[in-house]
Amino acid sequence: MKGEIVAIGDELTSGRILNSTSQFAAHHLFAMGHEIVAMSTIGDSPELIGAAVRKALDRADFVIVTGGLGPTSDDLTSEAVSTALGRPPTFHPEILEKVQAFLERFGGGHGKTSPSKKNIELEKLAWLPAGAEVLKPEAHMAGYLLVHDDKPIFFLPGVPHEMRQLLVEEVIPRLTAWQEGDERQVRQRLYRIFGLPEAEVNRRLAHLEDDNSLVKFGYYPVYPEVHLNITVLGADVEETEALLTIFDRRIRQAIGPYIYGLGEEGLEEIVGRLLRERGASLAVAESCTGGLMGHLLTEVAGSSDYFLGGITAYSNTVKERLLGVDSTILEEQGAVSAETARAMAQGARRSIGSDYAVAITGIAGPSGGTPDKPLGTVCFALATPDGVQDFRYQFSGSRHKVQIMAAHMGLDILRRAL
């Protein structure tokens, strides 16, 4: 189908924020075989919003509108659409209840807000154009569907992660169901890849991409990973499954060791699952990542079952005091060395009392590089009940990117060992 995307917000038209959500939507819709005829970005003005939605409805089969659904005075989308499409605002008490319950737990006003004033703001969220169907009634995010002139219009929040979630979980399946006459069976599979840059993934899979439109490849760099989404369109269930099996095998032949998982499960979840299956416990000793690997591990609910804790030894004194790294190693080999990493991992395993320990020490930059150990040099060690192994990698990019890459590499070293 032909679609159009309308993004709303002064923060976009003033150039303060880069509009990456429209691209995300275009990319996913294109991968599903839809054609995006136009994307427009407009400021917080009811006239412009109304005109843009009407115009989009004229020339497209479906429309996606993002932004302007919040409770503040510059959130004008629902109001503008009510006027432009002649659909009077309709009150949805269940939305107000949901939001109030949420804010009560959150404690938005701390008793200093007059209730009447507060309600006026929040009530906005509950007034939707007549005929609106809330997309995810159970979730704490805005988003609804309106069918006008027999065409679906999806209204999504401008907050990137909410918009992405609704697009993938609600919009794309509903569009697929909407598409009548097309009896093809659609299956998608998301490969999560770590350790290969996007261009290299692309190069290794180029021979699999064809223009017969049976299998579409979509590449999404989600730093530090690359996600590959394939969409298979077979004539029926059997054909679709057969194609999926064929292409899965070919993809694994090309980049198998770098695929760490499928679907939604992240690296930290897979590592956690593997540790839990083995009944093993983990500690970390971090220097250049400052605690990021530990934090990634604890983003998983229930991680206290296997993650005991960590020591962030940013200064050499802490490396000696808390991890027992010998001062002669630090002097002779340096803080960024295989020997220091090994001593850190063994020290963390011993002092925290875990089965496994991972150590990370490196030069994140922007200064501190030497000819021997340029910026981005990161040494790792993995201590297990059977001994210690060390690894050295050279990363590139900003300080921030080196830290993120190093913390994920720590997880991947553990994943491969487990």
Near its own copies in 244-283, by CB under 8 A? none
- Alpha-carbon distance of 229 to 280, in angstroms, equals 33
- Hey, what are 315's tokens? 């200064």
Q: What is the 3-state secondary structure (H, E, C) of 109-123?
A: CCCCCCHHHHHHHHH
- Tell me: does residue 312 bind its own copies (CB under 8 A): yes
Which residues, at least 6 apart from 138, have a Cβ–Cβ distance to it below 8 Å?
A: none
Read off φ and ψ for residue 145, nearest 5 degrees.
Answer: -115, 135
Nearer Cβ to its own copies (205/259):
205
- Tell me: does residue 308 bind its own copies (CB under 8 A): yes
- Alpha-carbon distance of 284 to 219, in angstroms, equals 32
Which residues, at least 6 apart from 263, have a Cβ–Cβ distance to it below 8 Å?
A: 189, 190, 192
Q: Which stretch binds its own copies (CB under 8 A): 31-39, 174-182, 245-253, 257-265?
A: 31-39
Nearer Cβ to its own copies (88/353):
353
Q: Measured from the CB of residue 33, what is the shortest distance to its own copies in angstroms? A: 11
- Tell me: does residue 293 bind its own copies (CB under 8 A): yes
Q: Which stretch binds its own copies (CB under 8 A): 82-90, 145-153, 326-334, 393-401?
A: 393-401
Question: Of residues 110-139, which lie at the interface with its own copies (CB under 8 A)?
Answer: 113, 117-118, 121-122
- Tell me: does residue 309 bind its own copies (CB under 8 A): yes
In this structure, which amino acid lies at residue 339? E
- Hey, what are 156's tokens? 């999504």
- DSSP class of residue 43 equals -
- Tell me: does residue 48 bind its own copies (CB under 8 A): yes
Nearer Cβ to its own copies (61/286):
286
Question: Of residues 189-248, which lie at the interface with its own copies (CB under 8 A)?
Answer: 197-200, 202-203, 206, 209, 216-221, 229
What residues pair up with 389 in beta bridges, in sequence order? 382
Q: Measured from the CB of residue 210, what is the shortest distance to its own copies in angstroms? A: 11
Q: Which stretch binds its own copies (CB under 8 A): 129-137, 147-155, 237-245, 294-302?
A: 294-302
Nearer Cβ to its own copies (249/321):
321
Q: Measured from the CB of residue 234, what is the shortest distance to its own copies in angstroms? A: 18
Residues 60-89, one symbol each (x = binds its own copies by CB under 8 A, - = not), give: ----------xxxxx---------------
Q: Measured from the CB of residue 195, what is the shortest distance to its own copies in angstroms? A: 10
Question: Of residues 343-362, which lie at the interface with its own copies (CB under 8 A)?
Answer: 351-353
Q: Give the residue from 136, 123, 39, 3 showing the smallest Cα distance to 73.
A: 123
Helix (H) or strand (E) holding 383: strand 377-384
- Alpha-carbon distance of 25 to 15, in angstroms, equals 19
In this structure, which amino acid lies at residue 367? S
- Hey, what are 379's tokens? 């040494």
Q: Give the residue from 252, 274, 264, 185 showing the smallest Cα distance to 227.
A: 264
* Residue 203 CA, distance from chain mean position: 24
Nearer Cβ to its own copies (131/393):
393
**Residue from 33, 45, 79, 280 in contact with its own copies (CB under 8 A):** 45
